Chain A
Amino acid sequence: MQDDAAQNQTLLGADELVLNMGPQHPSTHGVLRVKLKLDGERVRGTECVIGYLHRGVEKIAENRSYQQFAPYVDRMDYVAAVSNGLGYCEAVEKLLNVEAPPRAKVIRTIMTELQRIASHLIWLGTHALDIGALTPLFYCLREREEILKIFEKYCGARLTTHAFRIGGLQYEAYDSFEKDVERFCKDFERRIQEYVDLLTGNSIWIGRTRNVGVLSAEDCIALGASGPVLRASGVKWDLRKAQPYAAYEQYKFEIPVGTNGDTYDRYMVRMEEMRQSRLICLQAIENIPAGPIMGKVGKVLKPPVGEIYHSIEAPKGILGYYIVSDGTTQPYRVRIRPPSFINLQALDKMARGHLVADVVAIIGTLDIVLGEVDR
């Protein structure tokens, strides 16, 4: 850290330039507004202004029944709606003290892992676009389309799916579900090689990402960063392994970790996570247990008085739900721990001292969704 005198001194003795980036800007991933303090091209400080997409999701929860609120969580992280739904359904199940049947759990796992791939594909495409590579975006969207088609066949919706219900699933997996997932996974191995060919060894890409936005493991923990951001700094912490939920303990998969905690490491970690998710899907479709898809839950949900915290490993990090029940059909309070919001805190730490171009790379590498940041 520098002292104040050095802080206020610019290179040419000129005033600092305050550049208002957003809320309408091509690469702030929605409506993030960042006030950049610049000395020439160099960033002296950043200030995030958020709230442009605030819809009061947590407050809405207090006036809806438990089932009614479920579709709302899809609208937080809208590129990973299935994961949000899984977290919420499991949290309420925990509160009700019921458990989803094994078949439902496996299908949930497959859907969530497909969603993780889809979310990472959006991240990869937009991140590459921010850094100036135009083409990966379209390849990523092409693959994501296949995943969305599976979602559409399963529940009729593509983006905000509301795929799961409290207690299990509403819909049985359609006839060719396994075949579709398998075909996607088989195909995806070849597709992912295309992104690797375009980016991984590219010296411009390496120059733009290596040593950019370095976040040490201590910083990550201090800031509460989670997900790939944390793992790229070398901390092997993944709730799918640490506190298994759904059907994850049945499957073998690796948790990729980075070493430097820079943008390139985060890129590598997410790429590897896509491969691992693909493996989980392949393992899961081999053996989907038969049986019911809905647990023993009544039509009207009245959880006992109490409170519960449940968290899952969403594509962007740890997504937690803290629900307080007062014994009525509506939650007394729902508090959501959104990974994007907490990871976004690291922006200032990461961007300071870098150039303007790095700021967009850093926003991209944090993989934020403003719907989740503002809720």
Chain B
Amino acid sequence: MNPTVHPVLAFLQAWWVELVCGVVIVAVVPLIAGYLVLMERKLMADMQARLGPMRVGPHGLLQPIADAVKLLIKEDIIPDHADKMIFWLAPVASMTAALTAMGGIAFGPSFLVARDINVGLLFVVGVSSMGLLGIMLGGWASNSHYSIMGALRSTAQLVSYETAGGLALISGLLLAGTLKIRAIVDAQQHFGVWFVFLAPVALFIYLIASIAETNRAPFDLPEAESELVAGYMTEFSGFRWALYFLGEYTNMIVVGAVATTLFLGGWLRPFPNVRWMNWLDAVPALFTAAVGVYCVYRAGKQPVRVQIWFMWGVALTCFAAALILGLPLLVAPMKFMMPGLNGAFWFLLKISAYIYLFMWVRFTLPRYRFDQLMHLGWYILIPLAIVNVLAVGIAMILESEYGWNRWLAMLLTTVITLATAILLLYLNDKRAAASSTAAPPEEPSAEDSYAG
């Protein structure tokens, strides 16, 4: 064998799975993110009594592709006094971090994206936080006041909420006892219950922190449209802007996957160990079939022929999916495929629910102000997360060393944490009332809103 080729081949032999996964991620995730945007716009339209994108393709289904093409061929503007090198690099850094984090996630027992590394969850969380670097650099390099303010806000916000979110994750990790993605889900199967029921407050904290981490309303201050125009993205246009956007939506999938893996039981169905609940295994097939039937029912009511065809197309796709999901149940030799297929279904369903919640919150709530955001982070969420970690730790000691009932111990944890939450909220209200009466608006208080 040619000695110059040999190391390359050896490299390929060792890493081909990861390489293929990388290519798949880069090829597929942007498309998913694009359709996530469409989904968000459709949901928003639904909640706001309008239709949303309807022009490109049936019901606007080709809108993401049209958007991508538009952004690609748009004029590429770099401001005169921008730091060109960093301006180029920043969006790429942001997106790379998000896509890399995708590599550590497992979508089902047999759908590990890249490799089940021993620090799996830490890798995912750590790498996705690196996206902040892109935001910071982009804001700095734009040489614009709006951009730098957006970048500063983003930095302060991420540092604050990363802390709270990280502590919330630790509560879950204490229960799992491992960082390996697959082992975390196995631990939940072993416990016989999703961790959200053992540590509900932890999921709640992580939910809030992850909304803030992904810069979404009501914590979307870094890109608050009505205040900072577009925050750190103000000077970016065309495909650079698209990369930021891509990074943001990929991050949503990543935080959704992390929450699902750690708290919502990953790819486990509800009641994973209860035998008489085994009929739940048929739910994925029945659910997709039901969606298909509904499409057939709606197809007759569509006004335009294209829409009728489209509905039939969706229906047939659903039936095909139902068949794939259902066959392993009926045909004994294919039984081995069931955990993988059903697992992927449950996992995606849970991520979708999590992202739906994100979007719902965004359409409903007004935006926090910067100081309120910081107070929520530092005065409420972080202390609460610390108390939660301690309480979960104590509960686990009580269980293992003193033989307490696990449920009793965990219930105690939750009660303690909730009591703390009420106390913190009460203290916060008192502080807010005191500061609003003490400091008239003419005199700026000596408090630095970026401090911390």
B115 at the interface (CB under 8 A from A): no
Whether A26 lies near B225 (C-beta < 8 A) is: yes
Closest to B435 in A: A211
- In-complex Cβ contact of A356 among B227, B366, B367, B368 (8 A): B227
- In-complex Cβ contact of B363 among A2, A26, A135 (8 A): A135
A132 with B226: in contact, given A41-B449, A355-B369, A355-B371 (CB under 8 Å)? yes
A40 and B369 CA atoms in complex are apart in Å by: 14
B13 at the interface (CB under 8 A from A): no
Q: Report the minimal beta-carbon distance from A262 to chain B, rounded to whole angstroms.
A: 9
Residues of A within 8 Å of B75, CB to CB, are none
| Interface residues on chain A, number (Cβ under 8 Å) | 49
A328 at the interface (CB under 8 A from B): no
A355 and B149 CA atoms in complex are apart in Å by: 12
Closest to B362 in A: A134
Residues of A within 8 Å of B365, CB to CB, are 132-133, 202, 204
A284 at the interface (CB under 8 A from B): no
Residues of A within 8 Å of B217, CB to CB, are 132, 134
Whether A40 lies near B449 (C-beta < 8 A) is: yes
Q: Report the minimal beta-carbon distance from B128 to chain A, rounded to whole angstroms.
A: 24
Q: Which of B352-389 contact A (CB under 8 A)?
A: 362-372
A19 and B446 CA atoms in complex are apart in Å by: 21
A183 at the interface (CB under 8 A from B): no
The segment from B4-12, B46-54, B412-420 that touches chain A is B46-54
A324 and B371 CA atoms in complex are apart in Å by: 52
Q: Is the interface of A mostly helix, strand, loop or mixed?
A: mixed
Whether B441 lies near A354 (C-beta < 8 A) is: yes
Q: Report the minimal beta-carbon distance from B270 to chain A, rounded to whole angstroms.
A: 32
Q: Report the minimal beta-carbon distance from B4 to chain A, rounded to whole angstroms.
A: 57
B218 at the interface (CB under 8 A from A): yes
Q: Report the minimal beta-carbon distance from A62 to chain B, rounded to whole angstroms.
A: 39
Whether B363 lies near A134 (C-beta < 8 A) is: yes
Residues of A within 8 Å of B333, CB to CB, are none
Q: Which of B174-221 contact A (CB under 8 A)?
A: 217-218, 220-221
Residues of A within 8 Å of B149, CB to CB, are 19, 41, 356
A214 and B440 CA atoms in complex are apart in Å by: 9
A207 and B372 CA atoms in complex are apart in Å by: 8
Q: Report the minimal beta-carbon distance from A146 to chain B, rounded to whole angstroms.
A: 13
Q: Which of A90-108 contact B (CB under 8 A)?
A: none
Residues of B within 8 Å of A42, CB to CB, are 444, 449
Whether B369 lies near A357 (C-beta < 8 A) is: yes
- In-complex Cβ contact of B448 among A12, A138, A350 (8 A): A12
Residues of B within 8 Å of A322, CB to CB, are none
B36 at the interface (CB under 8 A from A): no
Residues of A within 8 Å of B368, CB to CB, are 132, 204, 207-208
Residues of A within 8 Å of B364, CB to CB, are 133, 135, 198
A199 at the interface (CB under 8 A from B): yes
Whether B442 lies near A2 (C-beta < 8 A) is: yes
A17 and B432 CA atoms in complex are apart in Å by: 28
Q: Report the minimal beta-carbon distance from A50 to chain B, rounded to whole angstroms.
A: 20
Closest to B432 in A: A207
Residues of B within 8 Å of A12, CB to CB, are 448
- Pick 14 A–B contacts, CB within 8 A, sort by A: A12-B448, A20-B145, A42-B444, A132-B368, A134-B48, A134-B217, A135-B48, A135-B363, A204-B368, A205-B366, A208-B369, A353-B440, A355-B369, A356-B227
Question: What residues make up the interface of A, taking CB atoms closer than 8 Å to B?
Answer: 1-2, 11-12, 17, 19-20, 25-27, 39-42, 44, 128-135, 137-139, 142, 198-199, 202, 204-205, 207-208, 210-214, 350, 352-360
Closest 7 CB pairs of A and B: A132-B367, A138-B48, A27-B226, A133-B366, A353-B441, A130-B226, A132-B366
